[in-house]
Amino acid sequence: MNSFTVRKFLITCLFLPLPALAAGMLELTVGMYRIQAEVAHTDPLRQRGLMFRKDMPEQQGMLFVFPQRATHCMWMRNTLLPLSVAFLDEDGRIINVEEMAPQTEINHCARQPARYALEMNRNWFKQRGLTAGMQIRGIERAPAPQ
């Protein structure tokens, strides 16, 4: 790499948020709504999730990609933001949505085997009338789970 390329890369990195560098971003859509989702497809990224964040833009969230379909559960230990989680099947269809309070260890689980979970700011799904059976598009571009 020449010095110009290295400088361009370093400058680009300075303007990207740290989570975008660590997890990667994926654009998802549901109806007329667009979501910029950080992707948590490895154990360390799934374990950390959105812990310690103090804020998150309204159209951003985190997509958890699980290695297998199961009745996955989420909790909010060390998570400062109130969040909603939508559990999704392998096609991106919403199974159920749960509202989660910050800094709690209450399990919020999929009602049937899920392959993905999408966390957004609390009430994001409710405010947009997004319910079970609706499809989140773009899931197929998510990286394979590790």
The CATH number given to whatever domain includes residue 78 is 2.60.120.1140
Q: Is residue 104 part of a domain?
A: yes
How confident is the model at residue 4, as a pLDDT? Answer: 41
Instruction: Look at 40 and 3; give whichever has higher pLDDT.
Output: 40
Q: Is residue 4 part of a domain?
A: no
Q: Is residue 63 part of a domain?
A: yes
Q: Is residue 73 part of a domain?
A: yes
Task: Determine contact, residues 102/79, Cβ cutoff 8 Å.
Answer: yes
Selection from 128, 113, 100 nearest residue 35 by Cα: 128
Across residues 12-40, what is the average pLDDT?
74
Q: What is the pTM of this model?
A: 0.84
With a CB cutoff of 8 Å and minimum separation 6, the contacts of 96 are: 86, 87, 110, 111, 132
Residue range of the domain that includes 50? 19-141
Count CB-CB contacts under 10 A for residue 134: 17
Q: Which two tokens stand for residue 17?
A: 């948020």
How many domains, the chain? 1
Across residues 30-49, what is the average pLDDT?
97
Q: Is residue 98 part of a domain?
A: yes
